[in-house]
């Protein structure tokens, strides 16, 4: 079984993280050093997570209740939830399938005198041209927050130069993960200083909690290794349980989307040490095998299914999404063939405000309903990529997977 995600962390990184839980460095020095090395202009702020940074930005920007925040329509559920906690109204901007980004026109349709900010999240490891979108937001005097949680491509890219805030995540499922942490570039020095001051009052996650996290992910890395996963999934099937719940949920549930207390925290020293190692040890060339696998699978699937986001000039294949008519049928066929395809259960489209149903992001919503994420990463040989593409082609062609709607 090819696991749906490959944790982007080596055994040596996990060992380093654990060692730093025992011999802890000075966290203040470490934080300063990461920020200094990340931005010569002094724009960088290390946060506990992207959600922490977004919550900090909203606390600091102090938009009055009822203000509207434009969101590119698809994001993890937690982001719009944070805005709602401030009694702000998330307003979706529908996406274009090709880029999975909103067009600048979407801003014109959604803008009201109450709109204050734009939150745009480039998806799946793609990067498109945000300039027209940001220019449109600026014309209306909006703050621009760029959610680059899926788009880390090395310390040299720090977000669009016109964004007020660009946020990169090093959470467990992200590229170059430190099993937590975020690097944020805040271009308005006043905003930055207030965010920094506020963050410095948060409690530091305990080293033992972080050590527990490292151990948990070491265990998950072990069980998501191919032979182990194959053994486990067949054992699970024998006991009649669903692998989805037993194994996959803990992976996704590592950073629960719950309360404010869970995100209003600071990174412990050991997490910073691992973050520093991941950030500055990062080599863009390391992504080349993954990008190669992604491009191969794209070519193999061309004309078979739609691959949303594939039209972007940059694609690092953090995830490999496809759209199919019957995702559960195709997913079953793929799992039978040994490919652990999955739906995006932590993501959701932002619902339109009750009084403006015409802002329903139809394209994004229908895409999410038809979306499957495929295993596609370095280490998957051409033969397996071909077999996966063929499984999808057959599953999409089979009548069971293309149920004609029954109309009486
Ligand atoms: C992962 C993710 C987040 C959350 O990142 P954390 O650092 O875990 O808070 C936010 N937005 C998007 C688009 C993500 O993929």
Distance between CA 282 and CA 59 in Å, rounded?
32
Residue 169 CB less than 6 A away from ligand 1: yes
Q: Which atom of ligand 1 is nearest to the CA of 53?
A: 9
Write out the H or E segment, with its range, that includes residue 314: strand 314-315
Question: Could you tell me if 275 and 178 are in contact, meaning their C-beta atoms sit under 8 angstroms apart?
Answer: yes
* Phi and psi torsions of 209, nearest 5°: -65, -40
Residue 149 CB less than 6 A away from ligand 1: yes
* Cα angle: 116, vertex 122, 124; to 5 degrees: 150
The DSSP code for 303 is T
Question: Could you tell me if 58 and 83 are in contact, meaning their C-beta atoms sit under 8 angstroms apart?
Answer: yes
Residue with the smallest CA separation from ligand 1 atom 11 is: 149
For a pocket test of ligand 1, which of 5, 165, 174, 309 has the largest count of ligand atoms closer than 8 A to its C-beta? 174
Per-residue pLDDT of the chain (408 residues; tens, 9 = 90+): 898 888 999 999 999 999 999 999 999 999 999 999 999 999 999 999 999 999 999 999 999 999 999 999 999 999 999 999 999 999 999 999 999 999 999 999 999 999 999 999 999 999 999 999 999 999 999 999 999 999 999 888 999 999 999 999 999 999 999 999 999 999 999 999 999 999 999 999 999 999 999 999 999 898 887 777 777 777 777 777 665 555 565 555 444 445 667 899 999 999 999 999 999 999 888 899 999 999 999 999 999 999 999 999 999 999 999 999 999 999 999 999 999 999 998 899 999 999 999 999 999 999 999 999 999 999 999 999 999 999 999 999 876 655 554 443
Query: How would you write 374-407 as a 3-class SS string?
Result: ECCCCCCCHHHHHHHHHHHHHHHHCHHHCCCCCC
Distance between CA 46 and CA 278 in Å, rounded?
14
For 24-42, the DSSP string reads: ---HHHHHHHHHHHH-TTS
Residue 150 CB less than 6 A away from ligand 1: yes
Distance between CA 237 and CA 23 in Å, rounded?
43
- Span 293-321, pLDDT tens digits: 999 999 999 999 999 999 999 999 999 99
Beta-carbon count within 10 A of 329 CB: 17
- Read off the tokens for 300: 């193999």
* Cα angle: 263, vertex 265, 267; to 5 degrees: 115
- Span 11-20, pLDDT tens digits: 999 999 999 9
Coil, strand or helix at 246: helix
384 Cα to the center of ligand 1, angstroms: 30
Q: Strand 44-47 vs strand 68-72: parallel, antiparallel, or unpaired?
A: unpaired
């Amino acid at each position: 079984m090819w696991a749906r995600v490959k944790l982007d962390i080596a055994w040596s990184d996990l060992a380093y993280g654990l060692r730093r839980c025992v011999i802890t460095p000075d966290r203040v020095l470490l934080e300063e050093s990461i920020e200094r090395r990340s931005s010569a202009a002094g724009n960088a702020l290390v946060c506990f997570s992207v959600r922490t940074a977004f919550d900090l930005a909203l606390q600091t920007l102090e938009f009055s209740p009822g203000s509207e925040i434009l969101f590119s329509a698809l994001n993890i559920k937690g982001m719009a939830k944070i805005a709602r906690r401030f009694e702000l109204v998330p307003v979706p901007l529908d996406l274009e399938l090709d880029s999975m980004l909103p067009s600048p026109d979407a801003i014109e349709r959604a803008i009201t005198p109450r709109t204050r900010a734009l939150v745009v999240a480039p998806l799946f490891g793609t990067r498109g041209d945000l300039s027209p979108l940001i220019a449109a937001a600026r014309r209306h005097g909006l703050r621009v927050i760029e959610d680059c949680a899926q788009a880390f491509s090395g310390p040299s890219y720090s977000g669009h130069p016109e964004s007020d805030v660009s946020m990169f995540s090093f959470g467990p499922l992200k590229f170059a993960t430190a099993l937590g942490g975020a690097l944020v570039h805040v271009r308005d020095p006043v905003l930055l200083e207030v965010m920094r001051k506020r963050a410095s009052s948060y409690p530091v996650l305990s080293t033992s909690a972080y050590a527990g996290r490292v151990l948990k992910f070491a265990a998950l890395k072990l069980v998501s290794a191919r032979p182990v996963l194959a053994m486990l999934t067949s054992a699970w099937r024998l006991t009649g349980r669903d692998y989805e719940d037993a194994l996959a949920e803990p992976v996704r549930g590592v950073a629960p989307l719950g309360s404010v207390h869970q995100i209003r925290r600071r990174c412990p020293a050991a997490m910073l040490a691992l973050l520093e190692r991941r950030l500055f040890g990062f080599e863009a060339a390391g992504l080349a095998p993954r990008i190669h696998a992604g491009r191969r699978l794209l070519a193999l699937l061309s004309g078979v299914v739609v691959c949303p986001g594939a039209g972007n000039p940059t694609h690092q294949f953090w995830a490999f999404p496809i759209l199919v008519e019957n995702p559960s049928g195709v997913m079953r066929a793929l799992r039978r063939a040994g490919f652990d395809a999955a739906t995006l259960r932590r993501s959701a489209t932002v619902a339109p405000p009750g009084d403006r149903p015409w802002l329903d992001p139809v394209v994004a919503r229908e895409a999410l309903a038809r979306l499957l994420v495929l295993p596609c990463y370095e280490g998957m040989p051409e033969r397996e990529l071909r077999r996966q593409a063929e499984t999808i082609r057959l599953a999409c062609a089979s009548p069971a997977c293309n149920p004609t709607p029954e109309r009486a």
